[in-house]
Structure 1
Amino acid sequence: MEEGKETEKKRFLKKILLIINCIIQIGGTCGAPLVARLYFLHGGHRVWLSSFVQASGFPILLIPLSISYIRRRRNYNRNRVTTVATKPKIFTMKLPLFIVFTVVGLLQGLDNILYSKGLASLPVSTASLIISTQLAFTAIFAFLLVRQKFTPYSLNAIMMLILGAVILALNGAGDGPAGESPKTYVMGFILTIIAAALIGFILPLVELAYKKTNQTINYTLVLEIQLVASFSSALFSLVGMFINNDHKVVSREAKNFDLGETIYCVVLVASAIFSQLSGLGAMGVVFCASSLMSGIMVAMTVPLTEILAVIFYKEKFQAVKGISLVLSIWGFISYFYGEYQQTKKMKKNSIKENEQPQNPNNINYV
């Protein structure tokens, strides 16, 4: 009986943690392109700086990591008198995971520079549209790397979300910056497609690393993983900044920024925070559910980003955007209805309550 209650508690905590990470990912994924585009629209030109900023928000992760360490330290001091307790470590990640996610961070750095170059010459609507195609790449790589199983509901969700994004292409090309050459626009389009494909590869790669590691994964370790990946990504972009001499012109660019030097700094800080939230949310959703669901959350943010672009950038809300919004919501509901049906079927067939087919057996949720 006690074991059943403990299992129910863990499942409840898992759902709460999943909801929190979904909110974090949606907020970060919606806010990051809007703020980054604001930089380019008002006089920002340094793509390596933009790429560095997207990864440089990792120090904020030290706050929850410090809280986690203090809590573990208190538990150790409380229990060491009565039990043989292991002294908590400040950094729990073992070397194999450190190496893997250092490489993942370098891939994220490459993705950031590709996305920054694309966003420099594309409107928010078009860039968001192209990035949302990562769902198709995520589905393919999830099938190849982690043997992701698809249901009619998840397939329907993928099709609806991709279709909803593709419809936005009918509205995207006319929003480009004034005086931009077709060659620049096409190059931005291609680079953003490559960035979408790279995102689609990274998410299943993260899930594969979670499954294959011999180290027990909890949310504290997920925070450490994001810290290592972001640091590696920031270092990649920092080297690019120095090679491209971006660091020499930042102060001059800030003074010439259309909205003023103070707003220039605010934009960079906000971009760092939103990008970090997006990455952390994605890691958390993969941890709690799967890379496919994380990809679906990214695609779901496309119509939300469109609405925010209408509000903040005064873009027109044409009929195609409304259709895209409806299709995206349809796909989102379809996916979660399928998850509900699958859970219901598992209970009906008396499958063990603690079995989580989309997660490795060594994952904890607390």
Structure 2
Amino acid sequence: MAHAQEIQLQIRGIPDEESVDARDGPKAATGRSTRSSFRWWMTVLVDMLMVLCGTTVATLLGRLYFNSGGNSKWMATLTQSGGSPLLVVPLLLSPARSAEERRPAALKMVAIYAGIGVMIGFDNLMYSYALQYLPVSTFSLVAATQLGFNAITSRLINAQRFTALIANSVVVLTFSAAILGVGSSSDETSSNVPRGKYPLGFVLVLAASAVFALILSLFELTFEKVVRVRTARWVLRMQMHTNLVASAVSVAGLLASGDWRTIPGEMASFKDGRTRYVLTLVGTAVSWQAAAVGLVRLIMRVSSLFANVTCTLALPLVPVFAVALFGDRMTGIKIVAMLMAVWGFLSYMYQHYIDARRRAGAENAECRVCATRTGSHAVLPA
């Protein structure tokens, strides 16, 4: 009976919504209308813009905090997750959970929130140190290695399929970061980057990129194996709860390190005053949350690797703005590294395009076979 109902849906052109997986994108859209396909791609594009704009603005404001007199690594770490309470508003406005929706065990979700949240907190700390020790253009380009790390974690944890184009993307982006490391001695900027800290900053951003890649794969695994529901409500819940734990880690570090005592003096000595200090921190927190929500939505809709590839698309943007705002020099080495990063991104996107075309062809062939088998039946069983 179920098979007969499925055949009826196919003949009438009505989509079987229960069989649609948000991650499949073009695959799911093949059996639906052109409008549904267009809507899916537009949603993914919005998520990508959130990641690109949020990452670019947050990175630049984070560098501005240190350049204008800020010095607390724990405060900079807190801004990367401290905006999570803002997600309560869209969470309350999101559609209510249906009665049929699967509810994962509460204790299991608490453990996941706590584990991933602690990892996010310390990952943010490493990024904060690295951002202070590296020019923002170099920081953003070295962070491209997170795609290479994510390719490994996606393969081991999420069973991501490797192809020649994906391998090319990973290798090219890795060499892009390696070139920056070799040319670090010639990277002099007018930014307030501590001398002699470049190697430490380089190591920290590499370590942070590896942990970040692991976090993305764990998010995808959670949606796959535990939550098993792909809704906006669960995206917001995952993002808010893990970031609340990360914020608790940051606040604990801020209090334990004694950095909280320096905040009044930091505000007083901040360039252009206390108002700019507060606006810089608030702007950074909001930008990181916008980027993070877009990132988790892409993980839910497509994959962690696709979400990470989108992050690398910000690479051409950040160095250009850094040159204009902070006086970073766009050296020949950075230009080559940036071009290699763009090439790595395009390689992955082309592989995604090939996969989409292949899936669409397979689905169309399946539909033709189904139509051939059922075309002679005038009446189908109910």
TM-score scaled by length of structure 1: 0.83
Amino acid paired to 1:191: L
Contact 1:165–1:302 (Cα < 8 Å) also in 2: no
Residue 169 of structure 1 deviates from its aligned partner by 4.2
Which residue does the alignment assign to 1:149? 161
Residue 108 of structure 1 deviates from its aligned partner by 0.4
Which residue does the alignment assign to 1:262? 275
Match of 1:19 among 25, 31, 45: 45
Q: Secondary structure at the match of 1:227?
A: helix
- Is residue 2:142 matched to residue 1:135? no
Match of 1:292 among 301, 305, 329: 305
Residue 179 of structure 1 deviates from its aligned partner by 8.1
Residue 300 of structure 1 deviates from its aligned partner by 2.3
Residue 168 of structure 1 deviates from its aligned partner by 4.0
Question: Aligned equivalents of 2:207 and 2:163: distance in 1?
Answer: 27
1:168/1:8 Cα in 2 relative to 1: closer, same or farther (>3 Å)? farther
Question: Aligned equivalents of 2:202 and 2:332: distance in 1?
Answer: 23
Match of 1:8 among 32, 40, 43: 32
Which residue does the alignment assign to 1:313? 326
Which residue does the alignment assign to 2:223? 210
Contact 2:67–2:192 (Cα < 8 Å) also in 1: no
Contact 1:119–1:188 (Cα < 8 Å) also in 2: yes
Question: Aligned equivalents of 1:213 and 1:247: distance in 2?
Answer: 38
Residue 340 of structure 1 deviates from its aligned partner by 1.7
Q: Secondary structure at the match of 1:217?
A: coil
Which residue does the alignment assign to 1:220? 233
Contact 1:162–1:299 (Cα < 8 Å) also in 2: no
Contact 2:149–2:213 (Cα < 8 Å) also in 1: yes
Question: Aligned equivalents of 1:352 and 1:99: distance in 2?
Answer: 42
Question: Aligned equivalents of 2:309 and 2:200: distance in 1?
Answer: 26
1:273/1:194 Cα in 2 relative to 1: closer, same or farther (>3 Å)? same
Q: Which shifted more, 249-258 or 319-328? A: 319-328
Residue 228 of structure 1 deviates from its aligned partner by 0.5
Question: Aligned equivalents of 1:93 and 1:259: distance in 2?
Answer: 49
Contact 1:94–1:215 (Cα < 8 Å) also in 2: no
Which residue does the alignment assign to 1:359? none
Amino acid paired to 2:358: K
Question: Aligned equivalents of 1:319 and 1:181: distance in 2?
Answer: 21
Which residue does the alignment assign to 1:82? none
Which residue does the alignment assign to 2:370? none
Match of 1:105 among 107, 111, 117: 117
1:56/1:94 Cα in 2 relative to 1: closer, same or farther (>3 Å)? farther
1:172/1:269 Cα in 2 relative to 1: closer, same or farther (>3 Å)? farther
Question: Aligned equivalents of 2:131 and 2:346: distance in 1?
Answer: 30
Question: Aligned equivalents of 1:191 and 1:137: distance in 2?
Answer: 14
Superimposed CA distance per residue, residues 141-169 of structure 1 (whole angstroms, 9 cap, x where no aligned partner): 11111111022222222333333444444
Question: Aligned equivalents of 1:345 and 1:179: distance in 2?
Answer: 48
Contact 2:126–2:208 (Cα < 8 Å) also in 1: yes
Which residue does the alignment assign to 1:53? 79
Q: Would you say how many aligned residue pairs link Structure 1 and Structure 2?
A: 337
Residue 229 of structure 1 deviates from its aligned partner by 1.0
Question: Aligned equivalents of 1:221 and 1:352: distance in 2?
Answer: 33
Amino acid paired to 2:149: F
Q: Secondary structure at the match of 2:322?
A: helix
1:282/1:214 Cα in 2 relative to 1: closer, same or farther (>3 Å)? closer
Residue 122 of structure 1 deviates from its aligned partner by 1.6
Residue 214 of structure 1 deviates from its aligned partner by 4.8
Question: Aligned equivalents of 1:179 and 1:97: distance in 2?
Answer: 41
1:328/1:200 Cα in 2 relative to 1: closer, same or farther (>3 Å)? same
> Could you say which structure has the larger radius of gyration?
2
Superimposed CA distance per residue, residues 200-237 of structure 1 (whole angstroms, 9 cap, x where no aligned partner): 21111111111111542312111111000111110110
Q: Secondary structure at the match of 1:309?
A: helix
Q: Secondary structure at the match of 1:55?
A: coil
Which residue does the alignment assign to 1:327? 340
Which residue does the alignment assign to 2:252? 239
Question: Aligned equivalents of 1:33 and 1:141: distance in 2?
Answer: 25
Amino acid paired to 1:285: L
Contact 2:141–2:337 (Cα < 8 Å) also in 1: no
Unaligned 5+ segments in structure 1 are: 74-84, 354-366
1:108/1:31 Cα in 2 relative to 1: closer, same or farther (>3 Å)? same
Q: Secondary structure at the match of 2:120?
A: helix
Question: Aligned equivalents of 1:56 and 1:31: distance in 2?
Answer: 16
1:323/1:122 Cα in 2 relative to 1: closer, same or farther (>3 Å)? closer
Amino acid paired to 2:169: A
Which residue does the alignment assign to 1:229? 242
Residue 290 of structure 1 deviates from its aligned partner by 0.9
Match of 2:92 among 27, 41, 66: 66
Amino acid paired to 1:3: I
Which residue does the alignment assign to 2:194? 180
Question: Aligned equivalents of 1:195 and 1:154: distance in 2?
Answer: 22
Unaligned 5+ segments in structure 2 are: 1-11, 18-30, 368-382
Which residue does the alignment assign to 1:363? none
Contact 2:56–2:318 (Cα < 8 Å) also in 1: yes
Which residue does the alignment assign to 2:375? none
Which residue does the alignment assign to 1:77? none
